[in-house]
Copies of this chain bind each other. A is one copy, B any other.
Amino acid sequence: MTETAPRPTLEEVAALAGVSRATVSRVVNGGDGVRERLAERVRRAVDELGYVPNQAARSLVTKRHDAVAVVIAEPETRVFADPFFAVQLRGISKELTAHDSQLVLLLTEGREDHTRVGRYLAGGHVDGALVFSLHLDDPLPGLVRRAGLPTVFGGRPGWGGGTDGTGDAVYVDSDNRGGAREAVRHLVGLGRTRIAHIAGALDQTSGVDRLEGFRDVMGESEPGLVVEGDFTPAGGERAMRELLARHPDVDAVFAANDLTAAGALRVLRETGRRVPDDVALVGFDDMLPVAEQTDPPLTTVRQDIEEMGRLMARLLLRTLDGDGDGDGDGAGGALDGTPAGMVLPTTLVRRASA
Question: Which residues of the other chain, B, contact A118 by a CB distance below 8 angstroms?
Answer: 52
Any B CB within 8 A of the CB of A151: yes
Question: Which residues of the other chain, B, contact A117 by a CB distance below 8 angstroms?
Answer: 102
What is the CA–CA distance of A105 and B79 in the complex, to the nearest angstrom?
13
Answer whether A2 and B105 are a contact pair too, CB < 8 Å, given A52-B146, A118-B52, A146-B7.
no
Please give the distance in Å from A72's CB to the nearest CB on chain B.
Answer: 11
Question: Which residues of the other chain, B, contact A123 by a CB distance below 8 angstroms?
Answer: 54-56, 59, 65, 67
Please give the distance in Å from A318's CB to the nearest CB on chain B.
Answer: 10
- Which residues of A, 104-129, contact B by the 8 Å Cβ criterion? 104-107, 109, 113, 116-120, 122-125
Size category of the binding interface on chain A = 35 or more
- Which residues of A, 10-51, contact B by the 8 Å Cβ criterion? 50
Any B CB within 8 A of the CB of A239: no
* Nearest opposing residue in chain B for A320, CB measure: B1
A1 x B333 contact (CB < 8 A): yes
A122 x B52 contact (CB < 8 A): yes
Question: Which residues of the other chain, B, contact A3 by a CB distance below 8 angstroms?
Answer: 145, 167-168, 331, 333, 337
Residue in B4, B89, B104, B125 whose beta carbon sits within 8 Å of that of A331 in the complex: B4
Please give the distance in Å from A7's CB to the nearest CB on chain B.
Answer: 6
Q: A55-B120, A67-B123 are in contact. List 17 more A-B contacts (CB 8 A).
A: A1-B150, A1-B152, A1-B169, A1-B170, A1-B332, A2-B333, A4-B145, A5-B165, A52-B122, A52-B147, A76-B89, A76-B90, A77-B86, A102-B116, A102-B120, A104-B125, A105-B107
Chain A residues within 8 Å of B, Cβ to Cβ:
1-5, 7, 50, 52, 54-56, 59, 65-67, 76-77, 80-81, 83, 85-86, 89-90, 93-94, 97, 100, 102-107, 109, 113, 116-120, 122-125, 141, 144-152, 165-170, 319, 324-325, 331-333, 337
